[in-house]
Amino acid sequence: MRRLLKQIAMQILCGLAVVAFSRPLPTAAQTAGPAQAKGEASTGQDASKDSAGDSSAEDTTAGDSEKVFPHTQTGKYWISGQANVILQSHGAFRAKYSGPNSLSNWAQSATTHLLTLYAGYELSQTTEVFADIEDATGNGVSDTVGLAGFVNLDAVRVREGVPEKDDPYLAQLMLRQIIPLTSERVPNPDPRDELHLATSVPPRRLELRVGKMDLTDFFDVNDYGSDSNLQFLNWTVDDNGAYDVASNTRGYTDAVILEYDDPSRAMRFAEALMPKVANSAFLDADLARSRAENLELEATGNHILHRDSTVRLLGYLNHGNMGSYRKANAEFRTGETATPDIIATRREGRHRYGFGLNMEQEVAKNVGVFARLGWSDGQNETYCYTEDDRTVQIGGLAMGDSWRRSSDRAGVAFVTNGIVASHQQYLALGGLGFLLGDGALTYGREKIVETFYTAHLWRGLFISYDFQHINDPGYNQARGPVAVSAFRFHTDF
């Protein structure tokens, strides 16, 4: 069955390529800005047409220069897709010692593949439904362990030493309901894509989303640093590493999001399911026992340089069957365990909470800078994302207008990650997390510099080169530094 589904997917891709090559190229030069959401380039379309407008306005918009074939901007349906292939490698590096969850210090390479089919339907001007099917394969270098800021966001995490199955799966299935707070309608500030179908919306409104989703499509989004398809690859560059976002090992959860929007402000709250245990593929439906609350405040304006800027303040509180680093360390010191064991200390009713600050500022046309700060209490075990309690990030991105390659983009980012003292002691005593564990630890903050260049080849075809330099991988001064190179091949159709 798995082989049949993959064969069908490849036939679909081949068919799309034939259709693309048979269509005429757009006649006008097109420009697209930074990504609006993870994994999707900005469509740059004129959003002034109402969803129920004249069907003759169906588009050849700016964003279609970055798609294999055009997408309707007025029809009730949405069908699109993407494929992302990343070839990544690093050379041998210094390591005084290694453990079960170390980044391997010999030269190695790995390849990941991510194929997604997006579908949506606009039931009315205020109601939309979405469904996505995804196929993700490849575990990344060292089976996706050994780094807090892992080098490939597409890498599939290993669960209890066993890779996830590589069968296609339902990634997202959600309902979007727009609740007008005014009778006026204005062009939708969000581009029409796999998450937004209405081309006009009330300027003041509530939005309700219910279903299976990736919370980072809505929380901690950054136009200059959230897209592993066309921008950066590192986990703690594309997302706030200290945000232990509720999700299973694939990155999805069942949730309800309620959002308020007006022209300069937004506030969103989500109640989401947590995994049954840390790094689990299965969600716990008992909200009394396990759940996550997420709250984000967002403000936009043009107060600096008279150019667009956005600030987002995030807070989260996770409840679950969590282990305690302090208790695991204490049980080891009293001889109750041979090594510190976070799993043996799990208890229902524990919490993990944190805060994040997310900023982006345009400094010239299609040139911007961004930054994130993240803080987590870190006393109980990392549950969903990565072992990171403190993060500081700064970076910049430019589109290729100034060198006459308007759909190219280049960026550079620096991030430093850290963990609290009890987590440091746990790893130093030989404890294992689901990502880290060198058998010992000489603590130092993990420091990462990442740079990339993405070239637009034709329509929806892109190729990128990405380079990451990491000091103190896994917070260990006894290991590294390590340099990681990657080639990425991406298509949007």
Alpha-carbon span 329 to 238, nearest angstrom:
32
20 has pLDDT over 50 = no
Q: Which residues pair with 204 in a beta bridge?
A: none
Q: Which of 315, 331, 313 is nearest to 323 (CA)?
A: 331
pLDDT of residue 19: 35
Residue 156 token pair: 């599939």
Split at pLDDT 50, 70, 90, the class of 36 is very low
Q: What percent of the chain has pLDDT over 70?
A: 85
397 strand-pairing partners: 368, 411
> How large is the average pLDDT for residues 439-463?
97
pLDDT at 9 over 70: no
Does residue 31 carry a pLDDT above 70?
Answer: no
How far apart CA 195 and CA 193 sit, in angstroms, is 5
What local confidence, expressed as pLDDT, does residue 46 receive? 36
Render 405-433 in DSSP notation, one character per residue.
EEEEEEEEEEEEEE--HHHHHHHHTT---
- Is 43 or 81 the better-scoring residue by pLDDT? 81
pLDDT digits (tens, 9 = 90+) for 274-315: 999 998 989 999 999 999 999 999 999 998 999 999 999 999
The pLDDT assigned to 162 comes to: 54
The total domain count for the chain is: 1
Residue 16: pLDDT band by 50, 70, 90 thresholds? very low
10/488 Cα distance (integer angstroms)? 19
Q: What is the pLDDT of residues 93-132, one digit of tens each?
A: 999 999 999 999 999 999 999 999 999 999 999 999 999 9
pLDDT at 84: 97
Helix (H, G, I), strand (E, B) or coil at 354: strand
Q: Using CA atoms, how far apart are residues 45 and 279, in angstroms rounded to an integer?
A: 39
Give me the pLDDT at residue 191, please.
82
List the CATH number of the domain containing 447.
Answer: 2.40.160.180
User: Which residues fall within 8 angstroms of residue 161, CB to CB, at 6 or more apart?
Assistant: none
- 221, pLDDT greater than 80: yes
What pLDDT band is residue 188 in, cutting at 50, 70 and 90? confident
Bridge partners for 220 per DSSP: none
Q: What is the spatial distance between Cα 419 and Cα 388, in angstroms, rounded to a whole number?
A: 6
* 382 φ/ψ angles, rounded to the nearest 5 degrees: -60, 135
Range of the domain at 250: 2-492
What angle (nearest 5°) sits at the alpha carbon of residue 492, between those of residues 491 and 493?
Answer: 115
What average pLDDT does the structure give for the chain?
88
- If DSSP codes are grouped into helix, strand and coil, which group holds residue 9? helix
> Mean per-residue pLDDT for 408-431?
98
**More confident site: 392 or 160:** 392
- 91 pLDDT band, cuts 50/70/90, is very high
Each residue's pLDDT tens digit, 173-187: 999 999 999 999 999
Q: What percent of the chain has pLDDT over 90?
A: 80
The residues, any chain, with a CB within 8 Å of residue 251's CB and separated by 6 or more, are: 214, 216
The better pLDDT of the pair 165, 419 is held by 419
Summarize the confidence of residues 372-383 as an average pLDDT.
Answer: 96
Q: What's the start-to-end Cα distance of the chain, in Å?
A: 25
- For 147-156, the pLDDT digits (tens) are 999 999 999 8
Q: Using omega within 30 degrees of 0 as the cis cutoff, is the peptide bond preceding 481 cis?
A: yes
158-168: average pLDDT: 65
